[in-house]
Amino acid sequence: MFTGLVETTGIVSSIRQDRGGMSLSIKASFSREPVVLGESIAVSGICLTVEQIDPDGFKVFASSETMATTTIGALKRNDLVNLERAMPADGRFGGHIVAGHVDGVGRIQSITAQGASSKVAIEVPVELMKYLAAKGSVAVDGISLTINKVTRNTFEVMIIPHTFANTTLATLKSGAKVNIEVDIIARYLEALVSRASGSQLAAKMRSVGFAIDD
């Protein structure tokens, strides 16, 4: 599990077609303990497993399915990526629950300066819009962001200077594609509602603490 708080950025140092997918070497360093073989790292929002430790970074593998459903297949050598290691059990929870399972690919519609911050409008597949709500959370390329506004097929977020300067957002322009992961709680709620009748739903909601009248 991740929190959407990017720890650092890395540089793609090599890409190789491999096992029907692709292997990526990423040059990066983390402030806490060294990366270990087999651990999970979110690479621009995609949960990948470390397969090799290199002197200046690590190597991960992306399957053909991951390449088809995320932006990773479009990466090139020297591209910048956001990196976050899995949250430790005793770690701080500063963002929101991010699984590293990308739900779809969005497109940057516009980036507009708003004082020291930046307003970013992102177009997403219409089928994802039902999971997005104003003041709710969304992960964009692995970055936990608060949604300011939702329209028919776009949403807007405000990016503070620190986030803009310390993630890949500073390199993006209108038209750029980004990985989108909706709030997992919204998906669970949809599953709960779709599988239960009205009375069953009320009973289930009471069981987890909601005050529901008959």
Query: What confidence score (pLDDT) does residue 198 get?
Result: 63
In the predicted model, is pLDDT for residue 18 greater than 70? yes
User: What is the value of pTM for the model shown?
Assistant: 0.89
Query: What confidence score (pLDDT) does residue 13 get?
Result: 98
Question: What is the average pLDDT across 56-64?
Answer: 97
Query: What confidence score (pLDDT) does residue 189 get?
Result: 81
DSSP per-residue codes, the chain: -B-S---EEEEEEEEEEETTEEEEEEE---SSSPP-TT-EEEETTEEEEEEEEETTEEEEEE-HHHHHHSSGGG--TT-EEEEEEPPPTTS---S--B-S---EEEEEEEEEEETTEEEEEEE--GGGGGG--TT-EEEETTEEEEEEEE-SSEEEEEE-HHHHHTSGGGG--TT-EEEEEE-HHHHHHHHHHHTS-HHHHHHHHHHTT-----
In the predicted model, is pLDDT for residue 42 greater than 60? yes
Q: Give the chain's mean pLDDT.
A: 92
Q: Which domains does the chain have, with CATH numbers?
A: 8-85 (2.40.30.20), 104-184 (2.40.30.20), 185-214 (no CATH)
Q: Which of 17-21, 80-84, 197-201 is predicted with the least confidence, judged by mean pLDDT? A: 197-201
